[in-house]
Copies of this chain bind each other. A is one copy, B any other.
Amino acid sequence: MQNLRIDGDRLWASLMEMARIGATRKGGVNRQALTELDGKGRDLFVQWCQEAGCSVRVDAVGNIFARRPGRDDSLAPVMTGSHLDTQPTGGKWDGVFGVLSGLEVLRTLNDFNYETERPVEVSVWTNEEGCRFAPAMMGSGVAVGKFDLDEIYAKTDAEGNSFRDELQAIGYLGPEPAKVAEVAAFFETHIEQGPILEDEEKTIGIVQGAQGQRWFDVTLTGQEAHAGPTPMKVRRDALVGAAAVVAAVNRVGHDFQPGACATVGQFDVSPNSRNTIPGSVTFSVDFRHPVDDRLSAMKAELETAAKEAAEANGLELDLREIWYQPPIVFDADCVAAVQQGAETVGLSAMEIVSGAGHDACHISELAPTGMIFVPCKDGISHNEVESATKEDCAAGCNVLLHALIERANAV
């Protein structure tokens, strides 16, 4: 059993075949949720699962579950999965790798006639990307009761098409209730979407959990005035204050290592005219940390720094927290199964924390969960140049195989 390995060529061939559905000229994929192309991708996956002898269920939000029976089929299944939808200029691996590595595990178990104690299921979660219908991670969110199904049905895309109509149109408005029943363990393999594994020259990321996030909107308001005749000492320059807050956000990010990320991504200056002193600046602050107390301490430092910058420059401050997501800590047994899997296969591995949201973050609210990351080139994702190697994909899939088997046999 320790020597069991998946077929890396077969996995790669499936990835490349799926990538032809919605292929873009620049080598990426545009297969947005509930489009005709999403339907074709789902059809191909279902066909492959049926060819592998699986039964397939579809639930009311379009989530797909392919099941390989266990020795005791009454036991709660172990499950793995991710999503098949992409960004408009997405890549070949984001999501798809997690689905097709699950399929490859099923195929490998079949190859060796390996019987697990528990059933093994591979899931496809509807609309993880959220680019056509917001918010993101819809299918997994409905399945764990975080989103209301009727509200999700009523969501519309930019052309006014409803989620429900589009789901029905591609034939994936299923009869099963959109609710995850008992799951013994859930794993998701995914490209890292960051540069850490590549920089550290590790093949496997043993994901410990996901960063907590706090998002803020900040507006500093001073006084517009002519850049020429207005002396420095009477100015109330909103940009000078905002620049001090940007510096503070960056300092907080460095001070709260390990694990902190701190970013000002959106930044709008008004009136944004060359010879006018800026009257107001509105900007975003994105704080992330895997430890909740540290994340709260980062917030406190932001509040202090923003107040100081406002006072020092005679500005009015409006600082609002617009989103708070506590850190997620994955199940110890699942994390251990991933670590053991990497050791069994003999791969270099490191502990890592997910900076992005994944379906696994939702599922972790109901089921013991773990994730496996593999490197992606230059840390780039959500981009047509997104790239991962055949060897790394095979490595991640082998770790998944062993983690799933370990949990499937733990009864």
Task: List the interface of chain A (C-beta within 8 A of B).
Answer: 192-196, 199, 211, 213, 215, 225-234, 237, 239-240, 242-244, 246-247, 250, 253-254, 257, 260-269, 272-278, 284, 286, 288, 354-356, 379-382
Contact = CB atoms under 8 A, between A and B. Distances in A.
A292 to B, nearest CB: 16
A261 B230 contact: yes
Given A195-B234, A274-B284, A239 B264 contact: yes
Q: Which of A234, A243, A244 has the most CB of B within 10 A?
A: A243
Contact of A265 (B194, B243, B272, B286): B272
B261 A267 contact: no
A267 B278 contact: yes
A333 B97 CA distance: 82
A273 B265 contact: yes
Given A265-B273, A268-B272, A277-B263, A288 B232 contact: no
Contacts of A211: 228
A243 B249 CA distance: 11
B240 A250 contact: yes
| Main secondary structure on A side of the interface with B | mixed
Nearest to A225: B379
A226 to B, nearest CB: 6
Given A266-B274, A276-B265, A232 B244 contact: no
Contact of A356 (B226, B266, B355, B381): B226
A381 B288 contact: no
B226 A355 contact: yes
A267 B272 contact: yes
Given A194-B226, A244-B247, A254 B267 contact: no
A237 B263 contact: yes
A203 to B, nearest CB: 17
A269 B199 CA distance: 27
A91 B140 CA distance: 60
15 contacts: A192-B229, A194-B225, A194-B228, A195-B230, A196-B229, A213-B228, A228-B261, A229-B379, A232-B250, A237-B263, A239-B264, A243-B250, A265-B272, A267-B278, A274-B284
Counting from the closest, the 9 A-B pairs by CB-CB distance are A194-B229, A228-B355, A229-B355, A243-B246, A227-B263, A243-B243, A267-B269, A274-B284, A232-B253
